[in-house]
Structure 1
């Protein structure tokens, strides 16, 4: 994990050091401070080593990235988490996890996700340092429905540890490392409510799902005959009504009442391209309408940014490819008429 690796040398080397939540050697304080952001729990020191609790935390909108160590060997018993899922990946040491139905170990390149309804208790080894992703329950379930077609009444459950040393697991950890590294450099990628932050959070959720579950084509029911055209029409109506909004494909799929995979398949069958390409074409057509019927204050830049085109060079390139002229030429021609 490169920069995310840490050792038992102390809190100075913990990732997200510029987002410290607390540092304490007092057991009651550590329990209370962790409970404020997670949930009430029992915390006991089991080993002879001194407690040296350190918690760094980066808050986003639907998730937070956490680095936590207690220094000493500890037992943690939160019971059901209820409102959130918790991904855990030991950067150093290991942890034993008991969910009531089964027990397992994480560490040495493996991690796991705690389900909200499981009766959880854990033992962290001495000097265990955990990288954790706390995720709002509804947000992760919505991502699973949108991306993998999880039925609305079905429960999203994770089962035991997964190795994260290659493939999708390694990619997911690499994305986490990027966010942490940029944060340590002073970049504010999460927590500002920006379109970039929202998209980054969604990418983290999808990355976690891909690294922990293995959905198949059977997971998502095939659209009923006649359902796909209605799905596409609903999506297109939603897009036309929100051309100036910062839409993501998940928003469109939700409005159409389907999953991202089903929506993409339906659009390719009908249009030969994905929904975001259709959305771009709709925005270009609206731009042509506005530039062809300008007011005294109409400017190409305002029209482009108002429709979600923030890279003017690409906007002009797509516009010329579609209409055979530049946006400026359309505006000038309309003003001369």
Structure 2
């Protein structure tokens, strides 16, 4: 069987153009200059050439609001000792070469398809191989831990802790690496997804953070979803009813109900047999039927659908017919003929 190429199966021989080449932060053959340039966006650190190769540091970088994606190489075997990162987590994935990592008691090797994450509150020291090229995500500690609380049940006041290295060759790891590669390739083609409309760029960042949490080993692996009872379901449904015409996300509903999104989903499946977003769609369809059954002189199917968040009219028509056995326009016509 022919092996399917995995994410970041890139040809990175010596002299190859690095990903994000059009987003160069700096390049330098001077160790002190490289240390200073890296410190500006990461933190102060010790940087020593161990041996071999010609030192030639390069950092390419695209920045979002809470995270950045970086491509880095030093061109020679180097030791990097930043101490504690303090304000950010750092995901590392060598796409060429390898690195030995000591991050407190989180000691591991990365490379050969394996990645890892540096915890911000532990002393860190790394040795990168001479040919090492890494893709890295620098993500603000507050942002990632907030997401871990709302999506993964990190207890209030607890710290998020990563451990060990993780293969990105299958399952959620492969999906995450594929998404990360897509973001990098789009930037290489001139479309930086972090520069898009605010909501879209925010969603790209959130998806990357969720992918990081789903693909890496951490202390949340065995944390069960906190229970949410009928009260949370009632609060969420009341919020839906009051905001049918407004954009509503699972996260917003969960916040209104005072539980995590995962807990709210579990509560809805247990008490309603459906997800919260399915219940929301059903409510909106029922409101559409009401609006079309009691039309005003200027009522139109398009206006009713879009006012309730159905912007794909064909899909709206299919969902409406599946629920009511007729099309939206048929409902409107019958109401006007009555």
Same fold (TM over 0.5): yes
Q: How much has 1:279 moved relative to structure 2?
A: 1.3
Distance in 2, matches of 1:39 and 1:199, equals 27
Residue 169 (structure 1) aligns with: 173
Root-mean-square deviation (Å): 2.7
Q: Which of 164, 170, 185 is the matching residue for 1:160?
A: 164
Distance in 2, matches of 1:294 and 1:241, equals 21
Q: Which of 65, 84, 91 is the matching residue for 2:88?
A: 84
Residue 254 (structure 1) aligns with: 255
1:51–1:230 CA distance, 2 compared to 1 (3 A): same
Give the TM-score, by structure 2 length: 0.86
Residue 285 (structure 1) aligns with: 286
Q: How much has 1:79 moved relative to structure 2?
A: 2.1
Distance in 2, matches of 1:42 and 1:297, equals 70
1:221–1:206 CA distance, 2 compared to 1 (3 A): closer
Please, which runs of 5 or more residues in structure 1 have no aligned partner? none
Mapping of 1:1-337 within 5 angstroms?
Answer: 1=6, 3-10=8-15, 12-213=16-217, 219-220=223-224, 223=227, 228-294=229-295, 298-334=299-335
Distance in 1, matches of 2:221 and 2:40, equals 40
Distance in 2, matches of 1:59 and 1:48, equals 32
Distance in 2, matches of 1:88 and 1:54, equals 16
Give the TM-score, by structure 1 length: 0.86
CA contact (8 A) 1:81 1:118 kept: yes
Which SS does the other structure have where 1:239 is aligned? Answer: helix
Which SS does the other structure have where 1:47 is aligned? Answer: strand
Which SS does the other structure have where 1:73 is aligned? Answer: strand
Please, which runs of 5 or more residues in structure 2 have no aligned partner? 1-5
1:187–1:330 CA distance, 2 compared to 1 (3 A): farther
1:16–1:4 CA distance, 2 compared to 1 (3 A): farther
Q: How much has 1:333 moved relative to structure 2?
A: 4.8
Distance in 2, matches of 1:135 and 1:77, equals 19
Count of residue correspondences:
333
Please say which of residues 212-221 and 74-83 is displaced more in the overlay: 212-221
Please say which of residues 150-159 and 270-279 is displaced more in the overlay: 150-159
